[in-house]
Amino acid sequence: MVRRFLFASVALAPLVILIHYVLHPPETLEFVLAAAALIPLAWLIGEATEHAAEHTGPGIGGFLNATFGNAPELIIALLAVNQGLTEVVRGSLSGSVIGNLLLVLGFSLLFGGRGEIDRQSSFLALGLVAFSTLIFLVVAIPGWNGDPERSSLADLSIPVSIALLVAYLGLTFYSLRRHAALHIASNEEIKGWSLRFAVGVLAAATVVTAFVAEILVGTLEVFAEKAGLSEFFVAAVIVAIVGNAAEHGGAVVVAARGKIKLAAEIALASSAQVAVFLIPTVTLLALLIDPLSLAFREVELIALGVSVAIATVLLANGWSSRLKGAILIATYLGIAILFFSVGER
C-alpha cells in the first residue's frame, strides 16, 4: 500500500515543475509543493539503489546513490555561483558534508538498529573528509582576514581543488575494486530490477530531483527572510538538507529494510564525495562563471572536524546501533543551533 502510494506520488514532481513554469504560484506554495515532491523522489532513488546494489554490492551501491544524489547539489551550487551567492555555495556544501555525516547517517543507524558496517570503507570515507577539512585551511585561514572573495584566494583554491580530486579518484578507484571483488566472491543470487533499469531510474529520478530542488531553493530565500533567518543558516542547514533529500530518503529506506551496511555506505560515500569531489568540482567549474574561493568560515571547519571525530569514534568497532544514531542526530542539532547563532560572516 505504501509502495503504491509512493510510486503514485512520484507524479507530483513533474506537476510541480509544470506549475512553476506555467502558473507561477506564490513562492510559499511552491516551497511546500516542492518539498512534498522531493519525498517520493528520494524514496525512488533509494529503491533503485537497493536494486543496483544487488548487482554491484553495498559499496558500489552506496557510491551510485551518492553520485546520483549529489547531482542536484552540483546544479544548485553552480546556479548560486552564477547569481554571486558565494556564501550560500560554501555554506550549502559544508552543510551537506555535515548533514550526511550526522543527520543522514544518524537516521540510518536509528532506523536500521544494530548491524555490522564496513569498517574499512567507513574509515576511508571519514579519512577523505578529514583530509579535505585540513586542506581547506590553506585557503580558509588567509580568508579570515580581509575579503574572502579576493582573487588571490580564488587562485589558491585551484591547486587545493586539484589535490582533493586526485586523492578522491585514487581512493575511490581502490574502494570500488575492493567492493567489486568482495561482491564477486559472495556469489549471491540476484533478484529484482536489472542493473541497467535500476541505473536508468536513478538517472531519471536525479534529473527530476534537480529541477524540483532548484524550485525549492529559489523560494527558500523569501521564506527565510520572512522567518528572520541568516543567509548562512539557510545555506548550511536548510539548503543542505534539501540537497541531501535523495541520500537521506534513500539511506533511511534501505536501513529500515535491514540493510544497514548499504545505508551507512550511502551516507559516508556521499559525505566524502561532497568534500573531495563536489566541492573542488564546483570550484573548478566556477572558473567558467565566476571564480569561487574555498574560504570557509571558522565555524564551518570546526563543525566539520567535530562531525568527523564523532562519527569515527562511534563507528570504530564496526557496528551500528540506535543509540549511536541518536548521538549523531543530537550532534547535528547542536551544530544547527550554532549556525543559527553565529549569523552572517
CATH number of the domain residue 255 falls in: 1.20.1420.30
* Dihedral over alpha carbons 70, 329, 109, 176 (to 10 degrees): 30
Checking DSSP bridges between strand 319-320 and strand 115-116, what pairing results, if any? Answer: antiparallel
Task: Give the domain extent around 216.
Answer: 2-342
Q: Which three cell numbers, joined as nine digits, stand for 135?
A: 586542506
pLDDT value at residue 246: 64
Residues 35, 282: Cα–Cα separation, whole Å: 24
Name the β-bridge partners of 235: none
Domains of the chain: total: 1
More confident residue, 177 or 75: 75
More confident residue, 8 or 30: 30
pLDDT value at residue 64: 66
pLDDT value at residue 106: 92
pTM of the predicted protein model: 0.81
pLDDT value at residue 185: 47
Element (H, E) at 105: helix 105-112
More confident residue, 173 or 303: 303
